[in-house]
């Protein structure tokens, strides 16, 4: 394939030839041959890579009722949303937060909906709430609050339709050519399930890095976590850290086990400034969600301890300190649009904003080196994002509307 007249790394009027092996074979001006694609002066970038996403949960979102703060208000709104389906049929609801209608459990859900099985997922993805009909149908008992029980629930509740085709097409329109799936316990056959996606795929646990999930209520001692890290070697680890104490235990454990290239902190939701030099010394990459303080600013102001508010989802301060930083959407628990993440990273008002170019770079890294932006050179894999406009204009708006096409190994994947 020959793409003519694109802007490549700031150089206008470049032509790019892609060989049968899916790699860039030639870059220049006035390359011989008829153009398969007229770039019309638009920027040609490496395809975006979402470094932290939950693909089956995102695909299931299309078959779920949305009950987040932006979707419903109050108990009456929640009741109306949950009662939308026919009696007796399972209802799967997602995105719930206490600001909608307070704390949920079996009895609260029964008062809202009793004639059908209902399961509601908390916005964090960590908790499911089931009403009595759902508990009985699944052969369960208790108060209807299931913490980190996704693996168990898969065996007990009816599967939902996964719109993976729609997911892949939507991501391609964003210019996304690769995903890193970050589920803590990949479901059996997950890679086969996700193989219908046109994007490249890295599955934590099956591929490197190995995901390690931490929760404060079950937090291991540093020595025990170090043993888990050593057991994963020689593969790097990606440790889920959303509190300061989780980060502290992680740093102590990696120090004891010995870091390897590719070790990651996932989220880094709370990183005290005193921990930043330690993260840098260990060579850890932080894969963060710089959009969460913008998307969830009101909730964070009410719920996050005042001592932690200055340390939420660091981005600029990490980069300035020499810590490698990349981003993932964490969809469906955040937006699935990387360009919206970039805009939020630029618009932050807490001292952690970054430049538009730096925001774009958060999604240009390779799966195993997420903080090192890929370059388009002769010999590189032709995973590409072609824009309608030059890079300078795209950086001004940071919008998926500027994406014209996406290619994996030189093959177009955009609808």
Tell me the pLDDT tens digit for each residue of 25-68.
999 999 999 999 999 999 999 999 999 999 999 999 988 999 99
Tokens encoding 153: 């629930």
pLDDT, position 89:
87
pLDDT, position 151:
86
pLDDT band with cut points at 50, 70 and 90 for residue 194 = very high
Mean predicted lDDT score pLDDT of the chain? 96
pLDDT band with cut points at 50, 70 and 90 for residue 86 = low
Nearest partner of 336 among 52, 66, 46, judged by Cα? 52
3-state DSSP call for residue 369? strand
pLDDT tops 70 at residue 99: yes
Query: Quick one: what percent of the chain has pLDDT higher than 70?
Result: 100
| Span 362-388, average pLDDT | 98
pLDDT band with cut points at 50, 70 and 90 for residue 220 = very high
Long-range contacts of residues 222-226, Cβ cutoff 8 Å, at least 24 apart: 222/249, 222/252, 222/253, 222/256, 223/253, 223/256, 225/249, 225/250, 225/252, 225/253, 226/252, 226/253, 226/254, 226/256, 226/257
Do the Cβ atoms of 200 and 383 come closer than 8 Å?
yes
Beta bridge partners of 211: 238
Place of tokens 């210019």: 175
Tell me the pLDDT tens digit for each residue of 279-304.
999 999 999 999 999 988 888 988 89
Go through 6-38 and write b for each residue having 16 or more CB atoms within 10 A of its CB, e for each that does not.
Answer: bbbeeeeebbbbbeeebbbbebeeeeeeeeebe
CA distance 57 to 73: 23
HSE, CB side, 13 Å, CA atoms: give it for residue 283: 10
Q: What's phi and psi for 246, nearest 5 deg?
A: -60, -40
Return the H-helix or E-strand segment holding 394: helix 391-397
| Span 138-146, average pLDDT | 95
CA distance 300 to 308: 10
pLDDT, position 298:
82
Tokens encoding 171: 């991501």
Tell me the pLDDT tens digit for each residue of 11-34.
999 999 999 999 999 999 999 999
pLDDT, position 260:
98
- Between CA 194 and CA 199, with CA 195 as vertex, the angle to 5 degrees is 90
CA-to-CA separations, 230 to 125, 175, 226, 227, 236, in angstroms, rounded: 28, 37, 6, 5, 10
Peptide bond into 62 cis (omega under 30): no
200's CB contacts (< 8 A; 6+ apart) are 49, 177, 178, 179, 367, 383, 408
């Amino acid at each position: 394939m020959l793409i003519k007249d694109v802007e490549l790394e700031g150089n206008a009027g470049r032509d790019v030839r892609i060989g049968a092996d899916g790699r860039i074979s030639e870059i220049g001006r006035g390359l011989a041959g008829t153009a398969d694609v007229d770039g019309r002066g638009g920027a040609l970038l490496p395809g975006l890579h979402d470094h932290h996403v939950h693909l089956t949960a995102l695909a299931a979102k299309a078959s779920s009722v949305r009950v987040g703060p932006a979707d419903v208000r109050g108990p009456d709104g929640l009741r109306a949303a949950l009662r939308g389906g026919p009696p007796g049929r399972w209802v799967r609801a997602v995105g719930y937060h206490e600001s909608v209608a307070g704390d949920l459990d079996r009895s609260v859900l029964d008062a809202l909906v009793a004639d059908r099985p209902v399961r509601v997922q908390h916005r964090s993805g960590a908790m499911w709430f089931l009403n009595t009909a759902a508990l009985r149908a699944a052969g369960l008992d208790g108060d209807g609050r299931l913490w980190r029980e996704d693996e168990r629930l898969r065996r007990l509740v009816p599967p939902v339709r996964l719109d993976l085709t729609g997911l892949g097409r939507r991501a391609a329109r964003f210019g996304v050519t690769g995903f890193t799936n970050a589920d803590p316990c990949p479901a059996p056959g997950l890679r086969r399930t996700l193989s219908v996606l046109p994007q490249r795929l890295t599955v934590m646990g099956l591929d490197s890095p190995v995901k390690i999930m931490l929760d404060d209520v079950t937090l291991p001692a540093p020595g025990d976590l170090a043993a888990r890290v050593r057991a994963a070697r020689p593969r790097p680890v990606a440790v889920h850290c959303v509190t300061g104490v989780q980060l502290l235990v992680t740093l102590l454990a990696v120090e004891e086990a010995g870091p390897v290239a590719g070790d990651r902190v996932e989220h880094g939701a709370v990183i005290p400034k005193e921990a930043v030099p330690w993260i840098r010394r260990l060579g850890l990459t932080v894969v963060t969600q710089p959009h969460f303080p913008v998307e969830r600013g009101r909730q964070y102001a009410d719920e996050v301890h005042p001592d932690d508010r200055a340390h939420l989802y660091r981005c600029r301060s990490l980069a300035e300190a020499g810590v490698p930083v990349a981003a993932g959407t964490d969809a469906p628990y955040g937006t699935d649009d990387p360009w919206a993440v970039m805009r939020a990273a630029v618009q932050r008002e807490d001292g952690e904003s970054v430049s538009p170019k730096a925001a774009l770079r958060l999604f240009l890294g390779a799966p195993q080196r997420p903080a090192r932006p890929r370059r388009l050179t002769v010999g590189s894999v032709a995973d590409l994002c072609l824009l309608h406009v030059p890079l300078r204009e795209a950086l001004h708006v940071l919008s998926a509307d500027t994406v014209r096409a996406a290619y994996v190994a030189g093959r177009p994947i955009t609808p």
